[in-house]
Structure 1
Amino acid sequence: MSDPVHILVVDDHRDIRDLLGRYLRQHEYRVTLASDGRELRKLMGENVLPDLIVLDLMMPGEDGLSLCRWLRENYDVPVVMLTALGEETDRIIGLEMGADDYLAKPFNPRELLARIKAVLRRSQSLPSGRRGQMPGGEIGFDRWILDRTRHELRDEQDVVVPLSAGEFALLCSFVDHPNMVLNRDQLLDLTKGREAIPFDRSIDNQVSRLRKKIEPDPKTPTLIKTVWGGGYMFTAEVSKK
């Protein structure tokens, strides 16, 4: 038998932690509980590497956004974020920081379970199981520097090239998966998560716009190549700066 899926729940409210722990264990998940960012960092440092993290946004000390950014820079693990606010800006910021999904409190545990299953399906659908493995900070490719901390792209003369939030997310997805064919559904999952809708053609439009900004000749792309019948492949050599 395969090992049970391991879920790490990080929430400063003990009642919520215990409730989620019991509920997820009832559904045959292995569960570890943490009360704050310090416990999360300690567990990860001890090589307690879960399959998915449920992370509260509003916690004393280090908040969920900072922790999500740290996780994205250092680990290959999906994150479902919980927020008591449920405001549009918090949802967007959370997704931009790298959360795979979010759920507003109060919530039904059954809905959280459904979200967890959906995120795990998406993360496991990527080729070779690789997902978001390139660390954060500055990433170099071709003549470009992608600064994931500052959310900006610079050329070799240190000139910043403006990117929309969608273009930035798409470029991050490409540098995370170099030389891998990613179809439209996988790119939608990586950049838009559960907001993606069937037959969404926005990826094609964003690829076209991104090519105009980073390709020497957008009409004959060499960095983002189209794989007919498959999707797109990012062919540049990627390195940590």
Structure 2
Amino acid sequence: MNQIAYIVRDLEARGVRLPKVRCSTPPEASTGISGNSASFRVVLPKDAVAERRERVARLWRKGQNSGDIATALNMPVRAVKSDVYQLQCAGELPLRRLDMAEVKARRASIVELCDRGLTAAEIAAELSISVAIVYRDAWILRKRGDLAPVCKAVKAGESCRKREDHSDILALVSAVAAEFQLSTTDILSKSRYQNVVVARQETCLRALDAGHSVSKIARALGRDHSSVLYGINAAEVRRRKAVAA
């Protein structure tokens, strides 16, 4: 008698009810347990399997992936994939997760909720989807230009904004470029030539004087916040020296 048989008999003697098991080889008559070469698998009641697959199908239709479903139902990912496959074979789940029309409608709802200032968690609760789906759709929307590419609101938990209109700042860039005999591309580039840097800093100062925020100027010029602040201070110093002269 092997160790498993001892454990089983001890549990049965204590009155513990054990689940049924299936053996790959016929069980031994003396112990009720097959030899070391046998493999055991717990057999769940059909009602429990049907209920579990119903919950899997409900979460799967909401767009959650196998990992999210496994976490929500506290079951292995392999079991989730097996249930989804069985449901698809039975015709209870479609082979494709969602129709593209549903995906477009969901992403349009995400854009609308972002404009209203909702966070990622609030959007997920509003649409009854996981936060991971909100992250993924927001990334796709930012890549396509439907949301501002610099907007990190979904992961930061802040409100998300659509792409800003930088036409006013770009008009100032064109004016300064013509004044300094440069091209707009030069000012928007990463060039560190002195005449280009001076023109870029002058653009930052004029945009600030026009009422634009430092953050908006940084986004329009493709710079970070600190670079714009440094440029504004340098342009102000040159302007004061020119006035004093």
TM-score, structure 2 as length reference: 0.29
Identify the structure with bigger relative contact order (alpha carbons < 8 Å, sequence gap 6+): 1
Whose helix proportion is higher, 1 or 2? 2
Whose strand proportion is higher, 1 or 2? 1
TM-score, structure 1 as length reference: 0.29
